[in-house]
Each structure stands twice: as C-alpha cells, then as structure tokens.
Structure 1
Amino acid sequence: MTALSIAQRDNGEGSRTHLYETIANDLRETGYSINVGALPQDLAKSLWQYVQAMSNQAFDPAGIGREQDHMLNHFVRSDEICWITGETEPCRQWLQWSTDLQAYLNRRLLLGLFSFESHFAHYAPGDFYKKHMDAFKGQANRMLSLVVYLNPGWRPDDGGELVLYTGEEGDASIRVTPGFGTVVAFLSEEFPHEVLPAARDRYSIAGWFRVNTSHSGRVDPPR
C-alpha cells in the first residue's frame, strides 16, 4: 500500500508514521523520496488556506547564497519567499510535523540532523529557479532538503515541475508535478535540481534540515 493510499484512509498518527518510514527507507536506498499527495490532509489544507490569505507584502524576492554572500540574481531564480517562524497555528503545526520527521530520521538513519529552516515559496507564472545545489560537498551544513506542494487541482500542462537530477553521469532526471500535498525529500549534497516555469501561480514550502557546524568563535545561524 502506498503512502498516498494510507494518507487517504488514515489522516492521523498511522499515516504520519508510515510516511516517515517511507521517507527513511527511500533515503537509505536512493537518497531521495517522492510521495504524491502524502502530507496529512488537515495540515495540507491548513497551510494552503494560510498561504492564500497572506498579503503579497509578506513575500520578498528570493536570493542565492547566505550571510555575507547572499544576493539577488534574477538570472538564476525569480521566485519570492516568506520565512516560516511559527507565529501562527498552521505554521506551528508544520514546524511540529517537521520536528517529528527530524527525530524519526535521526533515530532510524543516525543523520545527526540538528535544526530546521523553511519558507513559503511563490512562483508567479513564468518564474523559475535554474539548476542548482542546496549544499556543496565538504561544507556540512544543509544535509536534507524537503519540499511540500500546496497547489490543488494542478494539471500536467500547468508546468512548474521540480526536476531532480539523479544520474552521476549525464542528465538523468525525474520530473515531479507540484500537486497538492506531495512531499519530496532528498540529500542536499547529492542532487542538483531546478524548478521549471509554470503557467499559473505555484505555491510550496521549501525546507532544510541542517547539521550543527558551530565552532569556537562562530555560531552557525539558522539560515
């Protein structure tokens, strides 16, 4: 039975545990996990309603890099984002779901995930994010990337797919339709990916589980 069918049958603790287990098994076997419509329905609906009610002013143009290297680059990406801080009930529920996933993966896979950061992302029609990495080998920081899609009624011809490049040689890839409640997780240092332009507004949550890279004289910031 798939994660989707169980989520449709049981939107409670059973579906949550099954999805966490599916993600853990997939990460162990392939390094990535794609689960169509698998986010608990109540949580997905709550997050979708929240993002639909958000003001346009809540979003900022997305940049690349972090800290002193952060900059806007509309040649690379053209989306806009709003960081999730947990100040509202839907966001608290999302952060709790992510915290539970973090604990589960640490217990099953011994990943040493230390913290989590995430934001809402809005891609207007035509927006994109060109091929990139979420983390680079040897710079232990972001270890696991997580994406959840909040787009009811998304059709194949709406575009906006996530392209996950899975081949060590060439451009072997998987295209993921950003349908409602789909959950994608992948090892941040292993998989280049991009977001293709869409024909309609596209909403998602992007998040990253991080390891602790703090050391004497420097505290690793949350983002």
Structure 2
Amino acid sequence: MEELEEHLQQFELLADKLSEDGYAIIDNFISKQQIRDLLAVLNHHQEQGTFKKAGIGASDQYQVDKQVRGDYIRWIEPSQALPPTRVFLNRMDELMRYINRTCYLGLKDYEFHFTVYPPGTVYKRHIDQFQTNDHRQLSCILYLNEDWLPEHGGNLRLYLPKVDGSEEEIDVLPVAGRLACFRSNLLPHEVLPATRHRYSLTGWLKDQLNELPFL
C-alpha cells in the first residue's frame, strides 16, 4: 500500500509538471534493486551481441551518422521481455493510464529500448517526433547510471522556448533511478558527451498502437 501511494504521488507530480512546463524530472522512480536488475538485463543483452548502432530518421530516410548520434540500442519486444524489464514496462503502462486520466493525451501504446552511449559520444540537438509520423507524444528516459557525478558529464540538455522567442537550457544529470519525461513534439534536446559509459531505458508513449514487432 505504501509503495502504491508513492507511485501515485510520483505520477501526480509528473502529470502536473508536464502540464505546467512540458517536462518533468522524477528522482527515485525505481528502487536501487530494480536498477541493478535492469543493469543485469542490459549486460545480458550486450553479452548476447544484440545491441545495434543507432541511426536517425524513419523508414526510407533512416541513416547512421556517428557524428550526430553515437549510441547503441536494443529494442524491447514486450512479449519477450525478461522479468526486470517487464516490471519496468508494467510501471510505464500504469503511468500511461494515469496520464490519460489526467492530461487527456489519448495514449495507446509505448516503445522502449536499452541505450548505451560509449564515452565521448553524443546525440546532437533534435526533437523526437518524425515529420512523417507524429504519434510519439511523450519521451521518457530512465537512467541506470550508478555513482554518477557531475564531472562525468553526459547531461540531457532540454531547450525550453520562452515567450520572448529565446530559449532556456535545462541540464539533467543522468543519475540512476531518475526519470526524465517531456513532450516529444515540443522540446528540442541533446545528449552531451560523458567520460563514462552512459546507460538508460529510452522510449516514447504514443497515441497509436504498435503494428509491427520491434527490430
């Protein structure tokens, strides 16, 4: 009961911040044990060699450019997810349903992948909604980086538009257990270089059901 109450408080804070600011940062979204469990799954997928170099663009516009984006990803197929990953996906499903009740975004599904940024790699400024596909509504990033310090870098930088036409920069340190969530079509963002490997679960809450299995 106490855990359920904590989840509801986090969901309420997240929904309020999304409505007010277009983004939300929630610390301790999952427990330390869940972080370790997810890192074990990530390491398992790495040992199996199932990570692929990430690219940019959708469908026929897809391309790999390590100068723009340097991460490696492993898509999650929900029906084949290992238990720790399933726990996380269930939590995101709960969050999606809560946001639908409070923010009326009409969310129907999600897609997530494990993400690894080697030291020094980046993802230059971009938005997460494709020009030819506008179904990504909320971007969500759960960080898995234990003992992360400011000097390690690797911040997520959000660019918030201001009424005078200028922008405010918000830097988010990728510490373990922190969830960053923001409107996919509204906030440009980038990933800054780090001195360590940087791990996360990255994905989107969508207003359309997924039609094809993840690759």
Q: TM-score, normalised by structure 1?
A: 0.86
Q: Is the 8 A contact 1:37 1:179 kept in 2?
A: no
Structure 1: where are the runs of 5+ without partners? 1-9
Q: Is the 8 A contact 2:77 2:214 kept in 1?
A: no
**Alpha-carbon separation, structure 2, partners of 1:175 and 1:107:** 29
Q: TM-score, normalised by structure 2?
A: 0.89
Deviation per CA, 1:165-218: give whole Å up to 9, x if none.
11243341100000010011000011000000000111011110111289xxxx
Q: Provide the residue aligned with 2:13 in structure 1.
A: 22
Q: Does residue 1:149 correspond to 2:143, yes or no?
A: yes
Q: Is the 8 A contact 2:76 2:214 kept in 1?
A: no
**Alpha-carbon separation, structure 2, partners of 1:104 and 1:117:** 17
Distance change in 2, residues 1:54/1:140 (3 Å) = closer
Give the secondary-structure state (helix, strand or coil) at the position aligned to 1:96. helix
Distance change in 2, residues 1:92/1:136 (3 Å) = same
Matches within 5 A, 1:110-121: 110-121=104-115
Size of the aligned set, in residue pairs, is 210
Offset, 1:220: 8.2
Q: Provide the residue aligned with 2:190 in structure 1.
A: 194
Offset, 1:136: 5.4
Offset, 1:138: 9.0
Give the secondary-structure state (helix, strand or coil) at the position aligned to 1:152. coil
**Alpha-carbon separation, structure 1, partners of 2:31 and 2:69:** 30
Question: Structure 1 stretch 175-184 or stretch 58-67: which is displaced more?
Answer: 58-67
Q: Provide the residue aligned with 1:72 in structure 2.
A: 64
Question: Structure 1 stretch 115-124 or stretch 55-64: which is displaced more?
Answer: 55-64
Give the secondary-structure state (helix, strand or coil) at the position aligned to 2:161. coil
Distance change in 2, residues 1:106/1:220 (3 Å) = farther
Aligned-residue CA RMSD (Å): 2.3
**Alpha-carbon separation, structure 1, partners of 2:159 and 2:98:** 26
Q: Does residue 1:163 correspond to 2:154, yes or no?
A: no
Q: Provide the residue aligned with 1:6 in structure 2.
A: none
Q: Is the 8 A contact 2:121 2:194 kept in 1?
A: yes
Structure 1 residue identity aligned to 2:180: V
Q: Does residue 1:31 correspond to 2:22, yes or no?
A: yes
Offset, 1:47: 1.1
**Alpha-carbon separation, structure 1, partners of 2:143 and 2:160:** 20
Q: Provide the residue aligned with 1:49 in structure 2.
A: 40
Residue of structure 1 aligned with 2:171, choices 163, 171, 175: 175
Q: Provide the residue aligned with 2:206 in structure 1.
A: 210
Offset, 1:131: 0.4
Q: Is the 8 A contact 1:148 1:184 kept in 2?
A: yes
Distance change in 2, residues 1:189/1:137 (3 Å) = farther
Offset, 1:94: 1.3
Structure 2: where are the runs of 5+ without partners? none
Structure 1 residue identity aligned to 2:189: H
Q: Does residue 1:98 correspond to 2:92, yes or no?
A: yes
Offset, 1:139: 5.0
Give the secondary-structure state (helix, strand or coil) at the position aligned to 2:87. helix
Q: Does residue 1:61 correspond to 2:53, yes or no?
A: yes
Deviation per CA, 1:46-72: give whole Å up to 9, x if none.
212322333251210001112222211
Q: Is the 8 A contact 2:140 2:182 kept in 1?
A: yes
